């Protein structure tokens, strides 16, 4: 690596499946690595894996690291900088801020991944010139980060904008992972694709042949990737499920527009980014029928898969005032003790 900077930052995007870590300067990513997030261990295993990755890859630069930002899956306890009972990682809860500050002796700011991604859009993405915007992810789940009047909204635990749990159909029987019914995420979370398909098959609303229907009846688990493969092959059941996805997502986006009045919405997340050609146009055209305010610009994020890393970098370099208020004191105390 020939790049030499005066000071470095480390950005960490901690997902349920993969962890991405990047050495950065304040302008962007210099070098990155991706590995599978540990699924077993204790409350320190994940922090230890991050620490050893940083030391093994960039050990000779640790002195020049100014700060680290972590964009993590939730739910987050932002005051403690830890993740509590995540839906898709079997480790019950895990510490991030405390062990990493202790071992690296640097400020480590820990923020919900969608909240971080919105901040990343402000400094490295499409939101540079906006004061009111939303980053939306359509992936395993549905979530958002929101900036209103230039302020990044955080919430009391750091879990603001759980937009996936907006009720888009209050007559629905379909139950969300959170226990509620008719939530946006039931219809548009990648984790719930099989649930929607089984519901459609059981309702028996399809009386023409569908290869996908046969698969569902045989008990095969269908994920988002397979659903969209069948859609591309013209399967009628896949078409129904994708139509529901589009309707629910248009309703959800219209709701967040009505609540936050943004100028811009950027959309990321693997389900959306892999299927922009199918989803973008129909979603945007349906949003307009349910908004009371002038619709914002809606576009796929140009930061792609790296939106979480840029979010973490933005948190480390341009730490939002509220995050410093919440985590700064504890960070100084731990560095002082070390
Ligand atoms: Zn829910």
Q: Length of the chain, please?
A: 338
Residue 155 pLDDT: 81
Residue 338 pLDDT: 67
Q: How far is the CA of 186 from the centre of ligand 1 (A)?
A: 7
Q: How far is the CA of 178 from the centre of ligand 1 (A)?
A: 4
Instruction: Summarize the chain as % helix, strand, coil (round to 5).
Output: 45, 20, 35
pTM of the model: 0.93
In a domain, 77, yes or no: yes
Closest CA to 117 of 278, 335, 265, 253: 265
Q: How far is the CA of 180 from the centre of ligand 1 (A)?
A: 5
Residue 271 sits in a domain whose CATH number is 3.30.420.40
Residues 287 and 324 grouped into a single domain: no
The count of C-alpha atoms lying within 13 angstroms of the C-alpha of 338, restricted to the half-sphere facing its C-beta, is 16
Residue 48 pLDDT: 98
Task: List the domain range (segments joined by +) for residue 277.
Answer: 128-302
Residue 337 pLDDT: 85
Q: How far is the CA of 303 from the centre of ligand 1 (A)?
A: 27
Closest CA to 225 of 262, 286, 274: 274
Residues 171 and 287 grouped into a single domain: yes
Collect the ranges in the chain with pLDDT lower than 70: 1-3, 160, 205, 338
Helix, strand or coil, per DSSP, at residue 67: strand
Residue 88 pLDDT: 74
Residues 195 and 238 grouped into a single domain: yes
293 CB-contact burial (10 Å; exposed 0-12 / middle 13-18 / buried 19+): exposed
Q: How far is the CA of 259 from the centre of ligand 1 (A)?
A: 18
Q: How far is the CA of 164 from the centre of ligand 1 (A)?
A: 6
Q: How far is the CA of 177 from the centre of ligand 1 (A)?
A: 6
Residues 148 and 81 grouped into a single domain: no
For Cα atoms 319, 323, 328, give the angle at the middle one, nearest 5 degrees: 95
**Digit-coded pLDDT (tens) for 137-165:** 999 899 999 999 999 999 877 776 789 99
In a domain, 123, yes or no: no
Residue 157 pLDDT: 75
In a domain, 1, yes or no: no
């Amino acid at each position: 690596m020939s790049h030499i900077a005066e000071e470095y930052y480390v950005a960490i995007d901690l997902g349920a499946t993969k962890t991405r870590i990047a050495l950065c300067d304040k302008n962007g990513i210099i070098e990155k690595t991706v590995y599978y997030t540990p699924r077993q261990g204790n409350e320190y295993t994940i922090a230890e894996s991050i620490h050893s990755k940083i030391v093994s890859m960039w050990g000779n630069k640790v002195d020049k690291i100014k700060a680290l930002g972590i964009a993590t899956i939730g739910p987050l306890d932002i005051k403690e900088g830890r993740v509590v009972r995540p839906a898709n990682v079997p480790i019950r809860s895990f510490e991030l801020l405390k062990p990493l500050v202790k071992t690296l002796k640097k400020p480590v700011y820990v923020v919900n991944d969608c909240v971080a991604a919105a901040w990343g859009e402000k400094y490295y993405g499409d939101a540079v010139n906006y004061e009111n915007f939303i980053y939306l992810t359509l992936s395993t789940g549905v979530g958002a980060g929101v900036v209103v009047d230039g302020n990044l909204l955080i919430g009391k635990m750091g879990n603001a904008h759980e937009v996936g749990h907006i009720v888009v159909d209050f007559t629905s029987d379909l139950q969300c992972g959170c226990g509620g019914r008719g939530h946006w995420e039931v219809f548009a979370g990648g984790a719930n694709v099989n649930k929607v398909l089984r519901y459609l098959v059981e309702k028996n609303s399809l009386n023409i042949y569908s290869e996908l229907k046969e698969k569902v009846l045989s008990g095969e688990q269908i994920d988002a990737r397979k659903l969209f493969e069948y859609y591309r092959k013209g399967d009628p059941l896949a078409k129904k499920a994708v139509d529901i996805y589009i309707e629910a997502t248009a309703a959800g986006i219209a709701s967040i527009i009505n609540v936050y009045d943004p100028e811009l919405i950027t959309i990321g997340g693997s389900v959306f980014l892999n299927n922009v050609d199918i989803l973008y146009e129909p979603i945007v055209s349906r949003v307009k029928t349910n908004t009371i305010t002038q619709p914002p610009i809606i576009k796929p994020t140009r930061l792609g898969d790296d939106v979480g890393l840029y979010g973490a970098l933005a948190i480390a370099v341009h730490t939002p005032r509220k995050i410093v208020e919440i985590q700064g004191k504890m960070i100084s105390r731990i560095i002082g003790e070390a």
